[in-house]
Structure 1
Amino acid sequence: MSRRFVLSSLLLLTALGAVSPGFAQKADTLVSDRDTIRYTYTPLQQSEAPKKNFFRRIVDYFGESTVDRTFEKKIDFTFAGGPSYSKNTNFGIGVLAAGLYRIDRTDSVTVPSDVSIFANVSVSGFYSVGISGNNIFTGNKQRISYTAMFSSAPRDFWGIGYRNGRYNKVSTYSEKRIQIDASYLREILPHTYLGGVASFDYARGIKFSEPSYLEGERTQYTATGIGIVAEYDSRDFIPNPFRGIYVSFRETVYPKALGNCGQTLWRTTFTADFYLPVWKNAVLAADLYGVFNSDGAPWTMLARMGDNQRMRGYYLGQYTDNCMITFQTELRQRIWRRIGGVVWGGAGNVFPAFDRFRWDETLPNYGIGLRWELKKRVNVRLDYGFGKKTSGFLLNINEAF
């Protein structure tokens, strides 16, 4: 038997697994035709993957959250929680779940649908829980948008109208509120949609320190409305557009038969948004918004300036009236990896009717913000807004508009 044959046999045995490098072997000798081959195998160390500490698991979890997994999962959720703050609610703890999904996971053209579930509780006694989202059907031919929220909060109140908001002494009350809003839209022309809307709003105020500010109105009202909505929407992604135009006209009627304040009321809402990439990782966005109520709308239905979308930094409801118009423009810039920043400027006005609009009562607004990408193009935002003798922090999910 030749040396070549012995070597070939040994290699074949190794390849077939007769000799496994993963096991310890004793030194042995093969003898053939006075030829001796010695072989010794040293076992390989079977190393285990090191266990990750809690901090490392958190980093990895959010590190993978921006990967688009909507083609693999029915719904791709990311959970987050931590401290929260706003001018209205003070410091608190908030938790949220942001999800993306596709009705048809074989459709790579239609943008994903989105849903956000949130809850918040603060040291001021405020608490809320809610859900909002946009359900996009295959081919973007149909969509359902919805919001449902319950909140209980201590509120400040200055009365109704610009001058009361500007000069009245602040009063307090506690508010319980249930809000539900849903719309269905169907594409009738490219990027053009027509559909219907339904809304329900129950609000109750208690413990008013200055009941006279209500001007004789009741402390609780229910508003149930139905209406039509027409939209033009070429945005590339609703929660965080990089390009496109969005124009919405919404007309809602609150029939007397549904128990709305003893009379039939109307509300018109108009929105016009514009998004344009200006240089690498930068988007210029603009927003024009108006809400106009018919005469006789109760204090719970009036337009309230402030909060987390428009006129950021103003206390929600300090300036309240039948009608409101706001405008803002914002520059959004991705800075590094998942971190971005924004600057914005704008103005707003509340007024009882068009013939009583006054330019000198227009209020300024500007601010800066920080963005962190929680999921693919779904941002957590921290804003600091300034206004006329006011300022405040806001922490929220998704872009302001």
Structure 2
Amino acid sequence: MIRSIIVAGLCLCGLCALPSRVRAQDAERDSVYTYVSGSDTLHYTYTPLAPEPPRRKPFLQRVVDYFGGSTVDRTFEKKIDFTFAGGPSYSKNTSLGIGLLAAGLYRVDRTDSVSSPSDVSIFANVSVTGFYALGISGNTIFSKNRSRLNYTLAFSSAPRSLWGIGYHAGRDNRETSYTEKRYQIETRYVHRILPNTYLGVMLGFEHTKGRGFDALGESYIEGQKHSYTATGIGLIAEYDSRDFIPNPFRGIYVSLEQTSYPQALGNCGKTIWRTTFTADAYRKIWKGAILAADLYGVFNSKGTPWPMLARMGGSQRMRGYYQGRYTDNCLLTAQVEVRQRIWRRIGCTFWGGAGNVFASLHDFDWAETLPNYGIGLRWELKKRVNVRLDYGFGKKTSGFLLNINEAF
């Protein structure tokens, strides 16, 4: 009897030291152990404690962690690296609204570490004025940067203001309104023929329909149709040494694009011609600061329908002007901008510029040049992909803009 008590005590206190004498049988959650020594047998059950569940982080901390990892370049390990964001939006044209955005970076060739990554942006927006828009745009960089594909697909429906055609109409006429629905598809493919030098083609389609014109609006469009459809075919010559298209830190970009809108591929009543010229330059001026300069011109042929005319203003050039108040065949703008990183993902910018609309080069008048300047705040959504909030000023006008990627 004494020997049995001693054996049982040894089993309970020192079993871990005698693993060769123990047989285990697994149950669903418990383990049943049997100890045998001579004629004595001891059975006991061991129930492990359940592990503590991991603590769920607070919502705000999870949001911070999500965007904290979004600035890391994962394009070498993922097919496409998306970051999603949403919130209030505002512009002078569309007023207050809610926007959703998906920004993605990817590499067609993930073994190519020389070329910059490709980018894509998917956006949706709806505002209190009845405006809504849906679209996708991006730049695809093929292996070794031998060729590029740029694309934009967008649909929008928006209440718009109208002042007429020409500088004096925008300055003096009374405002009227209508509703505009626009479908736009544009693709540009260029192939490298020399270092940083590309030749390519452009294909585009646009359909614009205006509704709700009053008598004043009818007079402003000068008896033209309410709806126009056009298909464009163009040739492109470019020099591009930018290090990253959505947000360059260095390099030069010069582009000349000649587009034809054949009469047979639309309802414009004649063949329309358009020449577009862009010249941009970027360089570092001090720690965390980039100086960016932009010269831009659009020259349409005589008789271009009212919805295809050059419109001053918007989110890229002459920020702060209502896009379309100053409208004519031709547009010429220039701007210089300083972009400064402040702290981590936060940056700021300030810019100054000028623009002019005119019927033809013969009608260009320096006295009709409009000023533009402003300040902006930047927040890095993904690595070198910024969400920007700008406030622009012009002649008797100003306004906020919230958008993705740099203006140019």
TM-score normalized by structure 1?
0.89
CA distance in 2, matches of 1:221, 1:46: 68
Question: In the alignment, is residue 323 of structure 1 matched against residue 326 of structure 2?
Answer: no
Match status 1:290 vs 2:297: yes
1:231 aligns with 2:251: no
Match of 1:281 in 2: 288
Does the 8 A contact of 1:254 with 1:260 survive in 2? no
- Which residue number corresponds to residue 250 of structure 2? 243
Q: Which amino acid aligns with 1:179?
A: Q
Give deviations 1:36-95, integer Å, cap 9, x for gaps: xxxxxxx99966542112111111100100011111110000000000000000000000
Instruction: Determine if contact 1:314/1:391 at 8 Å carries over to the other structure.
Output: yes
Gaps of 5+ in 2: 1-13, 23-47
Which residue number in structure 2 is paired with residue 311 of structure 1? Answer: 318
Instruction: Tell me how far 1:262 sits from its aligned partner.
Output: 1.3
CA contact (8 A) 1:133 1:145 kept: yes
Q: Say whether residues 1:206 and 2:211 are aligned partners.
A: yes
Distance in 1 (alpha carbons) for counterparts of 2:241 and 2:319: 26
Match of 1:75 in 2: 80
Looking at structure 1, the residues matched to 53 and 206 of structure 2 have their Cα atoms a distance apart, in angstroms, of 57
Taking the aligned partners of 1:257 and 1:395, their CA distance within structure 2 comes to 39
Q: 2:397 aligns with which of 367, 370, 390?
A: 390
Cα distance in 1 for partners of 2:224, 2:267 equals 14
Give the C-alpha shift of residue 178 in structure 1: 0.3
| Alignment partners' CA distance in 2, 1:56 and 1:123 | 31
How far did 1:259 drift?
A: 2.6
- Which amino acid counterpart does residue 175 of structure 2 have in structure 1? V
Query: What is aligned with 1:3?
Result: none
- Report deviation, 1:258: 1.1
Q: Is 1:195 aligned to residue 187 of structure 2? A: no
Cα distance in 1 for partners of 2:266, 2:188 equals 22
CA RMSD after TM alignment: 1.8
Moved more, 217-226 or 45-54: 45-54
TM-score of the superposition, structure 2-length normalised?
0.87
Which residue number corresponds to residue 162 of structure 2? 157
Which letter does structure 2 place at the counterpart of 1:228? Answer: L
* Structure 1: unaligned runs, 5 residues or longer: 1-9, 19-42
Q: Residue 339 of structure 1 corresponds to which residue in structure 2?
A: 346
* Higher Cα Rg, which structure: 2
| 1:51-66 to 2 correspondences below 5 Å | 51-66=56-71
Q: 1:13 to 1:159 in 2, by over 3 A?
A: farther
| Preserved CA contact (<8 Å) 1:130 1:150 | yes
Query: Does the residue aligned with 1:60 lie in a helix, a strand or coil?
Result: helix
Structure 1 residue 105 displacement after superposition: 1.1
The count of residues paired between Structure 1 and Structure 2 equals 365
Partner of 1:148: 153
Native 8 Å contact 1:224 1:260 kept in 2: no
Q: Residue 44 and residue 277 in structure 1: after superposition, are their counterparts in 2 closer, same or farther (change >3 A)?
A: farther
Q: Do the aligned partners of 1:247 and 1:271 also contact (CA within 8 Å) in 2?
A: yes
Q: Partners in 2 of 1:44 and 1:147 — Cα distance?
A: 58
Residue 221 (structure 1) aligns with = 228
SS at match of 1:163: helix
The verdict on how the C-alpha distance between 1:215 and 1:102 changes in structure 2, with shifts beyond 3 A counting, is same
Q: Aligned to 1:65, what secondary structure does the other structure show? A: helix
Equivalent pair of 2:375/2:392 in contact (CA under 8 Å): yes
From 77, 89, 103, the equivalent of 1:84 is 89
How far has the Cα of 1:330 moved from its partner?
0.1
The 1-side partners of 2:219 and 2:113 are apart by 58
CA distance in 2 between partners of 1:259 and 1:235 (Å)? 36
Cα distance in 2, alignment partners of residues 264 and 81 from structure 1: 42
Structure 1 residues 295 and 51: alpha-carbon distance in aligned structure 2, compared to 1, 3 A threshold: same
In 1, the alpha carbon distance for the partners of 2:132 and 2:53 equals 46
Residue type at the aligned position of 2:319: R
Correspondence list, 1:30-69, <5 A: 48-69=53-74
1:114 aligns with 2:119: yes
Query: Does 2:372 align with 1:371?
Result: no
SS of the residue 1:290 aligns to? strand
1:182 counterpart letter in structure 2: T
How many Å separate the matches in 2 of 1:274 and 1:224?
A: 31
- SS of match in other structure, 2:109: coil
* 1:119-134 equivalences in 2 (<5 Å): 119-134=124-139
- Residue 218 of structure 1 aligns to which amino acid in structure 2? K
| 1:125 CA displacement | 0.2
In 2, the alpha carbon distance for the partners of 1:236 and 1:168 equals 44
